[in-house]
Amino acid sequence: MKNKKILAAVLSLLLIFTFSSCNKFNDKSNSNGNVDLNDKVQYPITLKDSYGREVTLDKEPERVISVAPTVTETVFALGKQDKLVGRTDFCDYPEAALSIESVGNIDQPNVEKIVELKPDLVIASSIFQKEVLEKLEEVNIKVAVIRNEESFEGAYDVIGKIGILLNCKDEARKIVNDMKEKVELVKSKVKDLDKPSVYYVIGFGEFGDYTAGRDTFIAHIIEMAGGKNVADDVDGWKYNIESLLEKDPDMLICSKYYDFKQGIMNTEGYKELTAVKNGRVFEIDNNMLDRHGPRLADGLVEMAKIIHPEAFGETEN
């Protein structure tokens, strides 16, 4: 049973990580996190989404369906959760989101259920299948695809665009400013410190060895938090135990869910690592990292506290 839970967690993480890094449409946007949040929203509005599509709203939407955990978290953070009439099976934060009716998976939600809920607007992410988009457009349902860029600026952009769509620019601006303050705090605390080597565990053992390669968003988080990513010699998510044993990192960081830590410490190869032998396997709420929304800066802070607890007046767990 434990192995099945770990396998489910690995597959879930890989689904989110893989799709958050790819683009299923022709991405014509030049999103750079510079969404104008100063002027008030005046309807009708036309917003170019992350795939170059022009989405026009004649009035503030009152019935919204989120087809991505990042979108759901952002809508709640903006205080517009009363508008949500649908979410995906993966949208589990905050806990109140679980009371909202589900429309199924992230990449292929139930189109019939979406139509039944009569939304004014569906907000999706980059893993939204093209055929689903086309089916919804055929029945005149508005869909805005807001891609999660592989950068902090991309997260600001997502929050800003949703703030525009839901007529809450002031709230979006506050969230973004708070996030930027946390980023600067982390940068100031770790800038002059040594960089311990870090291996971020996504999958391990019989399920395959997966981590955050040099071109991934998690790799950037590790570097911003004052660490050196062990997997900076590969692109993507696949790694191998031989390279990991050779590099023998100072610490391992993994999801706090599904007994990941215990599994790692008892898996052949991994249990031979110095970090494992010395109890330097640390847990983090990975949802704060792989969902590029309002909690992203909190995830950076938590990562920095793990890598440099001394900089935050803390002791290692």
Mean pLDDT of 14-22: 50
Mean pLDDT of 297-315: 93
Tokens of 263: 């599994």
In the chain, where are the structural domains located? 2-15+192-312, 31-181
The architecture CATH gives domain 2-15+192-312: 3-Layer(aba) Sandwich (3.40)
What pLDDT is recorded for position 222? 96
Nearest to 294 by CA among 174, 202, 190, 125: 174
Q: Can you name the residues that pair with 199 across neighbouring β-strands?
A: 252
Report the distance separating Cα 83 and Cα 131, nearest Å.
Answer: 26
Residue 47 or 23, more confident: 47
Strands 45-48 and 54-57: antiparallel
Per-residue pLDDT reduced to its tens digit, 59-116: 999 999 999 999 999 999 999 999 999 999 999 999 999 999 999 988 889 999 999 9
pLDDT above 90 as % of the chain? 71
Per-residue pLDDT reduced to its tens digit, 138-166: 999 999 999 876 677 889 999 999 999 99
What pLDDT is recorded for position 304? 98
Asked if pLDDT for residue 20 goes beyond 60, the answer is: no
Q: Is the pTM of this model over 0.95?
A: no
Strands 228-229 and 143-145: unpaired
Per-residue pLDDT reduced to its tens digit, 222-249: 999 999 999 999 998 999 999 999 999 9
Domains 2-15+192-312 and 31-181 share a fold: yes
Residue 131 or 77, more confident: 77
Where would I find the beta strands (DSSP E) of 29-125? Answer: 45-48, 54-57, 64-67, 84-86, 121-124
Say how far residue 301 (Cα) sits from the centre of its chain: 15
Nearest to 161 by CA among 299, 37, 27, 26: 37
Q: Which CATH superfamily is domain 31-181 in?
A: Nitrogenase molybdenum iron protein domain (3.40.50.1980)
Mean pLDDT of 27-49: 66
